[in-house]
Structure 1
Amino acid sequence: MSEDTVTAESLRSGKTGADENFPVASGLIAERLRPVILAFYDFVRSGDDVADNPDLAPAQKHALLDQMEDSLIGKSEAEPLGVKLRVKLAEHDLTDQHARDLLDAFRLDVDKNRYADWDDLIAYCRLSAMPVGRFLLDVHGESQSLWAASDDICAGLQINNHLQDCAKDFKALDRVYIPRDALDAAGARIEDLGEAKSSPALLSCLQNLAWKNRGLLERGADLTAAIKDFRLGLEIAVIVRHAFSIVDLLTARDPLCEKVKLNKGEMVIGAAAAVGVEAVSRLFRRAA
C-alpha cells in the first residue's frame, strides 16, 4: 500500500466508544473477547464515518466502502482495519457477514436520505443495527434463536439515535430518518428539523415515534434473561437499561433544543443498577 493511499482509517472522525449510547466492550465482557469486538467496532465506526464525511463525493464514499469490504474478505490489503478484523474473525471462526451487512447500510446512507414509513426505517435497521447484536451473540456462542429479540433491541437503539440526532442529521447531511408518513400525520414538515426548537407538530411526531420505539424495546427486553453467558447478560442488561432511559428523555423533551443524552454519571449509575438487578435475577433463576 502506497503512503498516499486514502483509507477509511485515515478519515476517522475521532468518535470512539465513549461517544455511544451504550458500552463498547466494557469490563463486563470477557477479556479474551474484547479484541475481536473492538476490531469490529473500529471497522464499523470507520465505515460510518466514510458515509457521513461531508468532504467526500458519493463515488469516493462508495470506493472507500468497497475498499473496506475487499480488505475484509481478503481481496485487498489496502484497509488496515479490514485486514485486522479479518484476522480477528478467523481466530474466533466467525463470519464476516455482519460487518458486510453494515457496509451495505453505509452504502445506503450514501444514496438514500429519506424514509417513507416505519417499515422502511426498520428495513434500514436490518442492515445498520441488527448485525451488531447478532455479531455479539455469535462472539459469545449464543443461539441464533435469540436473534429476533436482539434485532428488536438493536433497532430500538438505532431509532433512539435517529431521534436524538434528527436535527444534526438534517442540517449536516440532509438526511432524515424520521418517516415521512409520521411527519405528515402530525402536520409537520421536514424543514421544521432545521429550526432552533421543534414546532408543536414536530414535537408530537418525535414523541409519538419515541413511544412506538419503547414498544420495540419492550418486545426485545426478554433477551437479557435468555442469554446464557453471565457476563454478556450483564452487558446487555446495561444496554437495555440505557435504551429505556433515552426513550424516557425522548418522550419528555425536545431533541432540537434540550439535552436528550445520558451524561457519564447517569450512565454509571444506570449501569450499576442494571448489573445489580440482573445479577440477583440470575442467582434466583439458577436457584429455582
Structure 2
Amino acid sequence: MNEAKVTAESLRSGKTGADENFPVASVLIAAPLRPVILAFYDFVRSGDDVADNPDLAPARKHALLDQMEDSLIGRSEAEPLGVKLRAMLAKHELTDQHARDLLDAFRLDVDKNRYANWDELIDYCRLSAMPVGRFLLDVHGESDKLWAASDDVCAALQINNHLQDCAKDFKSLDRVYLPQDALEAAGARVEDLGEAKSSPELLACLQGLAWKNRALLDRGAGLTGAIADFRLGLEIAVIVRHAYSIVDMLTLRDPLSEKVKLSKPEMIMGASAAAGLEALSRVIGRAR
C-alpha cells in the first residue's frame, strides 16, 4: 500500500458498534441525532485501531493520528472520516474538543504501556473515556453539570474493558492498564497475564479492581435519572445496566480463562428490562 495514501479508515480492524459492551446510536436515540453520533464513533474507532495496530511503528501511528486531527480541524482533507465528522459537528454546532481529547488518548496509548496506580489510570480515562459521555450529552443539549456523573460511568465502562481484555492487551501490545501498585499489593506479576489461567494472586488483584470499579459505577449511576431527554435517559439506563452486568461478572470470574462478555440475547434482554424500567420510572415521575 502506498504510504502516502494510507488513512486511518483504511486500517480499520473491522470492529463495529455491534462489538461494544454498550449500544452505539441505538434506536433509542432520536433518528436525526444518530448520524453525528455514528460519525463520531467511526472517527474514534479508527483512531483506536491505529493506536492498537501491531504492524505500525510508533512514528507512523503518530503521523496518522496527526493526520486525523488535521482533517478534523480543517487543516487538511486527508482523512475522510475527519472531514465527515467536521461537517457533522458544524451542522449541530458542536465542539471538536471531545474528539481531539480522544486522539490524545490514542497518542498516549502509543507511548505508554504501564500505569502506576488507580489515579493514573483515571487520568488516562479523562482522555480515553470521559469525552465520549460528554459528547453524547452535548449532542442532546444536556447540562454540563451532568459531566461529573457521566465521567464516572464512562471511566467505569473503560476500566471494565481493561479488565476484560487484560490478557489480550498484554500479549498483543505489551500494554498493561492494571495499576502496578495493585499488582504488587496482591503479590501478582505482570507476566502472569500471559498464562492461560490467572494465578490466585492475579485473580485477587483483578477481582479487587472490579469491586473498586463497581464503586465508581455506583457513584455515577444517578446520571440516568438526571437526564432531561427521555430517549437519551433510556439509552443511558441500558448502558449502565450492561456495565453492572459486566462488572459483576468480573468480580466472580477469571477473564484469562472464562467468558466475561454479554451474549447477544443477554444484551437484548438486559436492554429491554433497563429501558422498560426507566420509561416506567419517568412516566410515574411525571404523573406525580
Distance (Å, rounded) in 2 between the aligned partners of 1:4 and 1:161: 33
Name the counterpart of 2:57.
Answer: 57
Q: Which string of whole-angstrom CA distances, capped at 9 and with x for unpartnered residues, describes residues 202-258 of structure 1?
A: 000000000000000000000000000000000000000000000110001000000
Distance (Å, rounded) in 2 between the aligned partners of 1:74 and 1:286: 45
Name the counterpart of 2:258.
Answer: 258
Name the counterpart of 1:165.
Answer: 165
Name the counterpart of 2:277.
Answer: 277
Q: Tell whether 2:191 aligns with 1:215.
A: no
Q: Tell whether 2:287 aligns with 1:287.
A: yes
Name the counterpart of 2:21.
Answer: 21
> What amino acid is the match of 2:141?
G
> What amino acid is the match of 2:233?
G
Instruction: Could you tell me which runs of 5 or more consecutive residues in structure 2 were left unpaired when the two chains were aligned.
Output: none
Name the counterpart of 1:31.
Answer: 31
> What amino acid is the match of 1:145?
K
> What amino acid is the match of 2:63?
A
The Cα shift of 1:54 comes to 0.5
Q: Secondary structure at the match of 2:24?
A: coil
The Cα shift of 1:287 comes to 1.5
> What amino acid is the match of 2:206?
L
> What amino acid is the match of 2:254?
D
Q: Secondary structure at the match of 1:48?
A: helix
The Cα shift of 1:284 comes to 1.3
> What amino acid is the match of 2:144?
Q
Distance (Å, rounded) in 1 between the aligned partners of 2:75 and 2:248: 45
Name the counterpart of 2:190.
Answer: 190
Distance (Å, rounded) in 2 between the aligned partners of 1:271 and 1:189: 37
Name the counterpart of 2:77.
Answer: 77
> What amino acid is the match of 1:107?
R
Q: Which string of whole-angstrom CA distances, capped at 9 and with x for unpartnered residues, describes residues 77-118 of structure 1?
A: 000000000000000000000000000000000000000000
Distance (Å, rounded) in 2 between the aligned partners of 1:222 and 1:147: 12
Q: Which moved more, 1:276-285 or 1:40-49?
A: 276-285
Name the counterpart of 2:116.
Answer: 116
Name the counterpart of 1:96.
Answer: 96
> What amino acid is the match of 1:88?
M
> What amino acid is the match of 2:200?
P
Distance (Å, rounded) in 2 between the aligned partners of 1:237 and 1:252: 23
Q: Secondary structure at the match of 1:125?
A: helix
Q: Which moved more, 1:165-174 or 1:4-13?
A: 4-13
Identical residues among aligned pairs (%):
83
> What amino acid is the match of 1:172?
S
Name the counterpart of 1:232.
Answer: 232
Q: Which string of whole-angstrom CA distances, capped at 9 and with x for unpartnered residues, describes residues 248-272 of structure 1?
A: 1000100000000000000000000
The Cα shift of 1:285 comes to 1.2
Distance (Å, rounded) in 2 between the aligned partners of 1:194 and 1:207: 17
Distance (Å, rounded) in 2 between the aligned partners of 1:3 and 1:31: 37
Distance (Å, rounded) in 2 between the aligned partners of 1:53 and 1:213: 27
Distance (Å, rounded) in 2 between the aligned partners of 1:34 and 1:278: 21
Distance (Å, rounded) in 2 between the aligned partners of 1:154 and 1:263: 21
Runs (4+) off by over 2 Å? none
Q: Secondary structure at the match of 2:247?
A: helix
Name the counterpart of 2:248.
Answer: 248
Q: Secondary structure at the match of 1:95?
A: coil
Name the counterpart of 1:267.
Answer: 267
Distance (Å, rounded) in 2 between the aligned partners of 1:220 and 1:248: 16
Q: Secondary structure at the match of 2:42?
A: helix
The Cα shift of 1:4 comes to 5.4
Name the counterpart of 1:179.
Answer: 179
User: How high is the TM-score relative to the length of structure 1?
Assistant: 0.99
Give the root-mean-square deviation of aligned CA atoms. Answer: 0.9
Instruction: Could you tell me which runs of 5 or more consecutive residues in structure 1 were left unpaired when the two chains were aligned.
Output: none
The Cα shift of 1:3 comes to 9.9
Distance (Å, rounded) in 2 between the aligned partners of 1:53 and 1:221: 34
Residues paired across the two proteins, number: 287
